[in-house]
Structure 1
Amino acid sequence: MSPRLSVVVPAFNNADFVDETVRSILDQSYDDFELIIADHASTDDTWQVLQRHAHDERVTLLRTPAGGGAAANWNRVTEAATGEYLRLVPGDDVLFPDTLAQHVAALDAHPSAAIASSPRSLVDASTKTIIGRRGPRWRSRLVPGAEAVRATVRAGTNVFGEPFCVTFRREPFLAAGGWDSSFPYLIDQASYCRALLQGDLAAVPELAGGFRLSSTQWSVALAAEQSRQARGYHAELRRTHPEVVSEADRRVGDLRVRLVAQTRRLAYIVLRRRMTAATTGPGGKS
């Protein structure tokens, strides 16, 4: 029989963190799951590190040829999944011990829900908490899909969290088109919204885990491109689903996208200083 849940990990150059990621999945309180991991032609020791878990009967290790960007590996692991539910965990984030059980219970309790979503904490390279909780506090445990889509547009940011914060119903997700890479920097948010246009959101208040901050998120150019793509995505939703996203929603969202980008730039400066201070000694040397 297929497992209830497929946890999939698209790994790429995660040698320093992927073992911790995998252990956080295998050590879950919930046990009816398969774990599928694909290494996307990493140039570090990611594949060698993954061999530590090759003996576990729950684990399937795959290799994805180079090219195609993140979407290629996300699709690779997703297509290999067999469970009723699907959860994607990047190869450097960590799950908290009960989050799989919480998401399965939420989706079981709410048949109309297309996804379950949790807030998360932000952690540094040593998994030390930088920000204790990030994510909205929804007014109810079941949020209509259209309301959730409208909320993320008006917020000007992804209110659902990074991929490890979300669990899908796998077959409806695939039937709706799977991962939406039309706006590459919004592949997770756009995919959540695609699912939510077909169903509701099961809001799980407990933290999903820790999202690991890294220097790759400290790019002003990257923030600017994310902002541009977010505005483009808002316009696309307004064009294709005017019954969900009004012109006022789009305008508010675009304004907040710019504010979020400015806030993010300031936050990157502060977090970089904090993380640099945490990894240097009294004399300023590591």
Structure 2
Amino acid sequence: MSGAKQDRPRVSVVMGVYNGASQLTATVESILEQTFEDFELILVDDGSTDGSSEMLREFAAQDRRIVLLHQPNAGLTCALIKGCDHARGEFIARQDVGDRSLSRRLEKQVQYLDRHPDVVAVGAGCRRIGPEGEFLGETIRDQSPEQITAAFLAEGIGISHTVATYRTDAYRSIGGYRREFRFAQDTDLWHRMTGVGQLGELPEVLFEWGIDMDGISSTSHDRQRQLAMLAQESYRCLQRGEDDHEILRRAQQTSWGEIPPTTVISPRVALASAEFFIGSQLYAIGDHRCRPYLLRAIRQRPFWIRPWVKVVLSYLRLPVKDA
């Protein structure tokens, strides 16, 4: 499948990589094994220190569709800016380490964008996979682009960033990702994208979201919430024809400055919340494997009542025999 590259591939898949060695192979292979073959895969090594850099070099040596870029560690937003700047495709498709695109993802999203010229970015349904490979459920949304765009503008319910594919020309016409948004870079992008077109979503599962403890126990959620609100504020400001320079200054400070101590989440509390989240997902689908997660949440926060309740209910309502 590696044949000579086209002058301009239809799709540029962009992925930032920072210390993802344990999950890198499965993620990269999920793109290389797509049924749609007219793409380039741009891998941006964001200063990895765990062996990912060596793995990326091996991938690039084995497949001519891979473009490998390097930068000192600067975070996902900067990696995406660098990757998208090098993108030659008509469309840009996102991919994150730890997630897997199902084999027809690019084929279906390109077909959708070809059929819907007013849609500038399209997502898809996702299957959630836990740290030990547990099935945690699926999310599918069967709505029109008008409904999805309206829901995003009204409630902030956007399309999933890691499975999004969008028009390169539209991306560049609005200025692309902005460095000021270290987090919530997708929320900022989708707001500005709605100025040139609609958001869409395919009502079928086209990727698997690998949920790991490090990701959901991050202590940066407060920054993410603040930056999402600033992205919305910036959008409204631009809609009124006003300058958003002051908002971007605040976003820069929120991204890289110190958070007041009252809003900092301790690693212990964050880990307990992550364990509880996974346990709750498993409990909701009747999987007895919820118990170890809930018990670990209790060990982290013994006086937190919610995991205690779920543990008790799991023994009352779920099958006793392990599956």
The answer to which structure, 1 or 2, has the higher relative contact order (CA under 8 A, 6+ apart) is 1
> C-alpha distance in 1, partners of 2:75/2:290?
28
The answer to whether structure 1 residue 179 and structure 2 residue 185 are counterparts is no
Corresponding residue number in structure 1 for 2:99: 93
Q: Is the 8 A contact 1:149 1:193 kept in 2?
A: no
Match of 1:159 in 2: 158
CA 204–217 in structure 1, closer or farther in 2 if over 3 Å, else same: same
Whether 1:277 aligns to 2:292 is yes
2:236 is aligned, of 235, 238, 257, to 238
- Shift in Å, 1:207: 1.6
The one-character-per-residue Cα deviations of 1:159-218 (angstroms, maximum 9, x if unpaired) are 3112x2211111221121011344332101211221221012233112231122122333
> 1:39 pairs with 38, 45, 61, which one?
45
Picking from 120, 125, 128, the partner of 2:131 is 125
Q: TM-score, normalised by structure 2?
A: 0.69
Does structure 2 conserve the Cα–Cα contact (< 8 Å) formed by 1:21 and 1:92? Answer: yes
Tell me, yes or no, if the aligned pair for 2:149 and 2:199 is still in contact at 8 Å.
no
Determine if contact 2:171/2:193 at 8 Å carries over to the other structure.
yes
Q: Distance in 2 between the 1:203 and 1:160 partners?
A: 7
Conserved 8 A contact 1:13-1:42: yes
Q: CA deviation at 1:148?
A: 4.1
Give the 3-state SS of the residue equivalent to 2:204 in structure 1: coil
Instruction: Determine the structure 2 residue equivalent to 1:58.
Output: 65
Partner of 1:137: 142
Q: Are 2:112 and 1:112 equivalent residues in the alignment?
A: no
Q: Considering only CA atoms, is the larger Rg found in Structure 1 or Structure 2?
A: 2
Shift, 1:121, TM fit: 1.8
AA matched with 2:142 = R
1:215 to 213, 216, 237: 213
What's the % identity of the aligned pairs?
Answer: 24
Give deviations 1:105-156, integer Å, cap 9, x for gaps. Answer: 01111122211121212212344422222x5331x2xx24xx6444124334
1:122/1:129 contact within 8 Å kept: yes
TM-score using structure 1 length: 0.77
* Distance of 1:160 and 1:116 partners within structure 2: 7
1:83 counterpart residue number: 89
Q: Secondary structure at the match of 2:67?
A: strand
Structure 1 136/266 Cα, relative in aligned 2: closer, same or farther at 3 Å? farther
Name the Cα RMSD after superposition.
Answer: 2.8
2:34 is paired with a residue whose SS is: coil
Match for 1:225: what amino acid? R
Q: How many residues align?
A: 250
The residue type paired with residue 230 of structure 2 is G
Cα distance in structure 2, aligned partners of 1:58 and 1:107: 22
1:237 partner letter:
Y
Q: Which whole-Å CA distance do the structure 2 matches of 1:49 and 1:276 have between them?
A: 36
Indicate conservation of the 8 Å contact 1:14/1:91, yes or no.
yes
- SS class of match (2:184): helix
Distance 1:4 1:26, change over 3 A: same
What stretches of structure 2 of length at least 5 have no aligned partner? 1-6, 242-269, 280-288, 294-323
SS at match of 1:202: strand
What CA distance in whole angstroms lies between the structure 2 residues aligned with 1:17 and 1:36?
17
